Amino acid sequence: MILVTGGAGFIGGNFVLGWLSNANAEEVINLDSLTYAGNLETLASLQNDDRHIFVKGSIGDAELVTRLLNQYQPRAILHFAAESHVDRSIHGPADFIQTNIVGTFNLLECARNYWSNLAPEKKQAFRFLHVSTDEVYGTLESKEPAFKETNPYEPNSPYAASKAASDHLVRAWFHTYGLPVITTNCSNNYGPYQFPEKLIPLVIHHALHNKELPIYGDGQQVRDWLFVEDHCLAIQRVLEKGRLGETYNIGGWNEKANIDVVKTICAMLDSIQPKGNGKSYAEQITFVKDRPGHDRRYAIDASKIEKELAWKPLETFESGIRKTIEWYLTHQQWVSGVTSGSYRDWVSKQYSAHGK
Ligand code: NAD
Ligand code: DAU
């Protein structure tokens, strides 16, 4: 079996659902502390599936992690758990240091103790796959080449710095202790089950509730978008075939300016669910104060994973964004479940700080 951390979150949840959609899949122990970003509703379809063992707990709890490893003897750890939202890291970095750095350190130590006592065959087969981000590389000028695995680390937000630190720990545990690790650095994901604090689900949610669609600064910041299921398939491929101690950049060659992403969503909503008053959702677009330290451009050079592991994204941005919008339109109950009181408090705190 495999141990997944953060499997009630956006990418971890999609990963677990995708993994268990294969009838022959190994069991999953899913360790998640259920922060505001973790949601058991995402895993509701697995309620009667014995192959899914959900454990509510923290990666920072050494006793719990050690007990789970010894009891279930997983052949791999897939580490998704993190604090993941840049804006929250600006308001309060402490949780990011605690979860992303100290939590990863704890997980590495538990994994090392477990792995070093395995029988030789199991020891050789074991993997620690660390899921990370392109934000560790910092920002690009408009004409600079996309991030390669060899780019220097230049993180600019507390979130990015905490992920960079965790990547360094993972690397050191490989070189110093021989722990069989692989790190993936992926670009911006979008798709089903994403918490509506991130740009794409926030814009869909606000559009449908006749609220302003907040664009930071001039809206010309560029992100490289990847449909979440393509990211999950890439992670499976890296787990199967990735070389130990390596890092793999994952991305969809889909660079888009934020304003264009938002206009695309508005145009699709105009055709799928037109407003009663005949107006376009684009009229709700509002430019607000920029994010401090806002990275101008991210772009992933995915040639290493494409060449070495023969992975390629299946979705284009156009097909992925349509699937995403359709998913949100048909899963309004999931959205209502996560946009409770604490969500509303966050939106009012965040967007009063970004006042026009
Ligand atoms: P998310 O915020 O949606 O989910 C994070 C999950 O981790 C939640 O379920 C949360 O409850 C859980 N968690 C947080 N602290 C925990 C702890 N101490 N112990 C156990 N569980 C804990 O995040 P996401 O967008 O799904 O991102 C998953 C991973 O992928 C993160 O490591 C993130 O840095 C990385 N990543 C995200 C993106 C993206 O675009 N979302 C892109 C590249 C990489
Ligand atoms: O690049 C990978 C990273 O992508 C992941 O590591 C992070 O976990 C994930 O949150 C994401 O970070 P971003 O900061 O790029 O994502 P976010 O959805 O917050 O913002 C995307 C862009 O849209 C960014 O340039 C900021 C802008 N934005 C965002 C929000 C929430 C707005 O203009 N308005 C908004 O209201």
H/E element holding 325? helix 317-330
Is-contact 250 187, C-beta < 8 A?
yes
- Arithmetic mean of pLDDT, 248-264: 97
Closest Cα to residue 12, out of 35, 208, 23? 35
Q: Where are the beta strands (DSSP E) in the chain?
A: 2-5, 28-32, 52-56, 76-79, 127-133, 181-186, 188-190, 213-216, 222-227, 247-250, 255-257, 285-288
Residues within a 6 A CB radius of ligand 1: 5-6, 8-12, 31-35, 37-38, 58-60, 80-82, 84, 99, 103, 131-133, 163, 186, 188-189, 195
Q: Which ligand is nearest to the CA of 14?
A: 1
Q: Which ligand is nearest to the CA of 9?
A: 1
Closest Cα to residue 347, out of 157, 189, 211? 211
Q: For the chain, what percent of residues have pLDDT higher than 70?
A: 99
Is-contact 314 304, C-beta < 8 A?
no
Atom of ligand 1 nearest to the CA of 6: 7
Domains defined along the chain, listed by start: 2-194+225-255+294-315 (3.40.50.720)
What is the Cα–Cα distance from 99 to 158, expressed in whole angstroms?
Answer: 12
What pLDDT, in 10s, does the model give residues 258-275?
A: 999 999 999 999 999 999
Q: What tokens were used for 313?
A: 């994204």
Please list the active-site residues.
134-135, 159
**Amino acid identity, residue 134?**
D
- Arithmetic mean of pLDDT, 309-313: 98
What is the Cα–Cα distance from 146 to 127, expressed in whole angstroms?
Answer: 28
pTM value is 0.98
The per-residue pLDDT for 346 is: 80
What pLDDT, in 10s, does the model give residues 184-229?
A: 999 999 999 999 999 999 999 999 999 999 999 999 999 999 999 9
For residue 356, pLDDT beyond 60 = no
For residue 355, pLDDT beyond 70 = no
How far does residue 209's CA lie from ligand 1's centre (Å)?
26
What is the Cα–Cα distance from 334 to 80, expressed in whole angstroms?
Answer: 21
Q: Where do the H-state alpha helices sit in 73-156?
A: 86-91, 94-96, 104-116, 120-125
Half-sphere exposure of 77 (CA within 13 A, CB side): 30
- Arithmetic mean of pLDDT, 308-333: 97
The per-residue pLDDT for 147 is: 98
Calculate the CA 49 to chain-centre distance. Answer: 24
Residues within a 6 A CB radius of ligand 2: 84-86, 133-135, 187-188, 198-199, 202, 214-216, 221, 223, 258, 291, 298
Closest Cα to residue 227, out of 204, 254, 249? 254
How far does residue 198's CA lie from ligand 2's centre (Å)?
6
For residue 133, pLDDT beyond 70 = yes
- Using H for helix, E for strand and C for coil, what is the string for 264-296? HHHHHHHHHCCCCCCCCHHHHEEEECCCCCCCC
